[in-house]
Structures are given as C-alpha cells and as structure tokens.
Amino acid sequence: MQENVPHAGRGEAGGETIPHWHDPEGEAMTIVEGEDATVYDDEGAAYLDFVSQLYCTNAGHSNEAITDAMTAQMERIPYVSSAKGNDVRDALAADLAEIAPGSLSEVYFSISGSEANESAAQIARTVQDAPKVLTRWQSYHGGTAGAGALTGDPSTRSTVGRYAATTGSGKFLPPLPTAFDADSPADLAKQAADHVEFVIRNEGADSVAAIMMEPVGGSSGGYPAPPGYFDRLRAICDEYDVLLIADEVITGFGRCGDWFGIDTEDVEPDMITFAKGVTSAYAPLAGVIADDWIGEAVREEGYDLGQTFAGHPVACAAGRAAIEEYESHLIDDVRELAPVLESRLTELADAHDAVETVRGRGFLWSVVFADPETGEPFVHPWAADADEAEENPVAAVREAAAEKGVLFGSGRPDVQILISPPLCTTREEI
C-alpha cells in the first residue's frame, strides 16, 4: 500500500501518484509554484491567491529581495545557537522593537504562532503570578497544548478539548453583533467590554494574568472591533491589573494597513505575538514583543524560553528583508488599495441577496452570507463543527471561485469567505 508521504506534487515519483500527505482523498489542489499574488498548480493552472495561502505570504510569492537575503545568510552561516548572539537575529529584534507600539521592545523569538502565544501566556503567568489567560470564544490561537487551550474555536475541541480545561484559560464572548443584542456599534462596544469585565470579576481578578485577542478577528470571521471597544478594554485591564495581549499572528505586518492591527485602535497592549507575515512565510519564525518592564521582570525570574530553532538566522534574514519590503512600499500600497477592495466587495454585497455583510480592514475582509429567503445564516453563528450544515452553500462559493481561478479562505463557523490577498496585489487583480 502506498503510504502518505510529504511530497511537492502528485505523479512525480517514478510516474506514481503520491497522495497529498494531509489529504489522502486527494481533494486539495497541489500548488507547485508562485509569483507575486499568483500561484500555479501541478497542471499549470493559475490562481489569484486571495488568501495568501494561510494569511501569511504578505509580500507575495517569490519575492527576490527576500530570497536573496536568505541565500546570502545561508552562505555566511545558516545556523547559530539560540543561546549565542547573532548579528542578523539581534538586528531583527531591534527592527521589531522599532516598529512595535510604545514601550514594547523586549523580543522573545519562537518558531510558530502557537509557540509565541504559549510564550506570551507563560510570560504573563510568570510576571503576574496568576494562572489564567482569558480569550474569546471562536478565536484561534494555535494547536499546541497551551495555545490550543487558549483557542476558543469549538471545531478544534476534538483535538485540544481534553486537556484545554486543565491549563487555566477561561473564555469570553467576542464583540460580534450575533453575540449581543446591541442597537449601535457604540452599544456593542460597551456591552462586549462590560462582559469582559464581568468575566474577569467572576473568574477572580487576582487569578487572571492576561486577556488575549486578535485586534481584527482572523479565522473567526474577519471582523474589526466596534469603535471604543479596545479603549474600554485597556481601561478595564488597568483597573484590574490584567495584561492585554494582542495576537497579531494574522493582523501584523501590513495585513490591516499598519504595522500591527492594534495600531489602528490607538491602544498600547502589554505584549504582541507575531508569526506568519514577519518573514512573509518564507521561513518559520514567530515571537513575542513585550513591554520593557515585562522584560525586566522576566530577567529577574530567570525564565528561559529558549528553543533550538527560535530566531533561526535564515528566517531572521527573511524577516529583515520582508520588513524592508513592507516599509519601502507595501504598507503604503495597502492603504491606497484597501478602499478599492472594500468598494468592490461592497458592490458585490449590494448585487447579491445572499450577501449579508461585508466587513474587514486593510487587506483582511470577510463576506458573510445568509439565506436570502429567511435572512438566517446557512450554519448557526454559534455552530460547533458537528452542527455545521452538510451542504453549506458558502463552501460552494469558495469552490466556484477556485474554479474561476481565485482562492479564498474559510472562517469558523463557516458563514463567510475570507479575503486576504498578498500586500503586493495590484488594482487590476482586485
């Protein structure tokens, strides 16, 4: 029997078809090449990659500035122990401190977004001497044990549910219109923030180290917070001595039109976690950027987050080159083209009865669908995975788009398509 093995494309091993390692039924497409906002499958078909693979190839595919920087680092020295100094790693840490808001300047590298969130949670527990890190229901913060416990997406429960309850992580409702009976965005902001205060008080403020959330909900549905929500959360965190952690794994590095999604809210978090776009996904790299005082406190505790591949020099070289690309033009390009993307999506919404809402920011948008006959979503907005409709027309929209040569993402629950093009996407491609 043919084993499922990692392989770049089908039919390439002595003429034999090798199933996709993750997809034994062979349903997923096999992507073998890419350039800028376009990817190509193993039969040569081109697709506009309007999901940046997994919301991560922010600078687009095959960017030469990034690949050249990685090659140069490979030739100098590919790897240096994470316990030693390294010029490119130190320089990237300085770059990150420079672009992070306010006094966030202590950088702790890790390899994946899941580990970055685990690190942030552990740092919060250490410096606050409290066990709980509270997150939103329906959020995604990663799949490892600790990050899986932070994740509030019920569809991941089958893998993380058994131990999630043991790791000190409570949940609160996201600021979505479906979660509160609010009559305006300001009312929604107030109700949703008051609810977070209620949860902190009821968990016991002394037991809560931090709250963690995405500035713009990513795989949970591409939604920005209503104006005023983050201001109020910052005030609540200060009042109860709870840290505010922004998970910027998707929203960072130009995705929402700023260096970080939280920049738009004009609120300073205590920590930011990052991954994906930091290297434009050219190599795995992630981490935490913490406020100065947190760095001091971590040093006093002697807490060591060291991982062998944390801050890998080739990934750091990719990160420096990607940041240069974002800085030199890509963030400006997003600011210029985001209104174009928004107005084209809004036109779609106006023309189709089944489109309920279009929402997002920068180059992170979602088109939310509802049954035109009943006005109800095709799956319940609080659906856990098992409740999702078997024949969900939203999935059919994605499939039809792929047939027409455009790739979109899916959110949980599956009531929307997510649109997250590379930042180098042109006006014509939009």
Residues that bind ligand PLP (CB under 6 A): 54, 112-114, 117, 140-142, 214, 218-219, 247, 249-250, 275
The distance of closest approach from Cβ of residue 358 to ligand PLP in the complex, given in angstroms and rounded to an integer, is 21
Give the full edge-to-edge strand order of the sheet including 208-213: 104-110, 286-291, 271-274, 243-247, 208-213, 132-136, 171-172
Nearer to ligand PLP, 18 or 249 (CB): 249
The distance of closest approach from Cβ of residue 253 to ligand PLP in the complex, given in angstroms and rounded to an integer, is 13
* Angle in degrees, CA 257, 184, 139, rounded to 5: 55
User: Which of 318, 320, 281, 246 is CA-nearest to residue 420?
Assistant: 281
Nearer to ligand PLP, 191 or 410 (CB): 410
Nearer to ligand PLP, 423 or 430 (CB): 423
The distance of closest approach from Cβ of residue 155 to ligand PLP in the complex, given in angstroms and rounded to an integer, is 13
The distance of closest approach from Cβ of residue 169 to ligand PLP in the complex, given in angstroms and rounded to an integer, is 14
Give the distance between the most distant pair of CA atoms in the chain: 65
The distance of closest approach from Cβ of residue 17 to ligand PLP in the complex, given in angstroms and rounded to an integer, is 28
Alpha-carbon gap, residue 28 to 8, rounded angstroms: 13
Q: Give the number of residues written for the chain.
A: 430
Residue 35: both structure tokens together: 């350039």
Nearer to ligand PLP, 60 or 222 (CB): 222
- The Cα-based distances of 273 to 117, 141, 262, 268, 303 in angstroms read 6, 10, 11, 13, 18
The distance of closest approach from Cβ of residue 283 to ligand PLP in the complex, given in angstroms and rounded to an integer, is 12
Nearer to ligand PLP, 113 or 254 (CB): 113
Alpha-carbon gap, residue 125 to 128, rounded angstroms: 5
Instruction: Please tell me what DSSP assigns to residue 379.
Output: S
Nearer to ligand PLP, 106 or 247 (CB): 247
Nearer to ligand PLP, 191 or 215 (CB): 215
The distance of closest approach from Cβ of residue 107 to ligand PLP in the complex, given in angstroms and rounded to an integer, is 17
The distance of closest approach from Cβ of residue 31 to ligand PLP in the complex, given in angstroms and rounded to an integer, is 18
Nearer to ligand PLP, 134 or 355 (CB): 134
Nearer to ligand PLP, 142 or 168 (CB): 142
140 contacts 156 by C-beta, under 8 angstroms: yes
Beta strands in 362-413 (DSSP E): 364-369, 406-407, 409-410
Alpha-carbon gap, residue 227 to 9, rounded angstroms: 46
Beta-ladder partners of 245:
212, 271
Q: Which residue number has the CB closest to ligand PLP?
A: 113
48 contacts 429 by C-beta, under 8 angstroms: yes
The distance of closest approach from Cβ of residue 228 to ligand PLP in the complex, given in angstroms and rounded to an integer, is 23
What spatial distance separates the first Cα and last Cα of the chain, rounded to whole Å? 45
The distance of closest approach from Cβ of residue 400 to ligand PLP in the complex, given in angstroms and rounded to an integer, is 25
Instruction: Please tell me what DSSP assigns to residue 272.
Output: E
Nearer to ligand PLP, 192 or 245 (CB): 245
Nearer to ligand PLP, 214 or 356 (CB): 214
The distance of closest approach from Cβ of residue 56 to ligand PLP in the complex, given in angstroms and rounded to an integer, is 8
Contacts 24+ apart (CB under 8 A), 327-335: 330/58, 330/59, 330/254, 330/423, 330/424, 331/254, 331/257, 331/258, 331/259, 331/423, 333/423, 333/424, 334/254, 334/255, 334/257, 334/362, 334/363, 334/423, 335/257, 335/362
361 contacts 346 by C-beta, under 8 angstroms: no
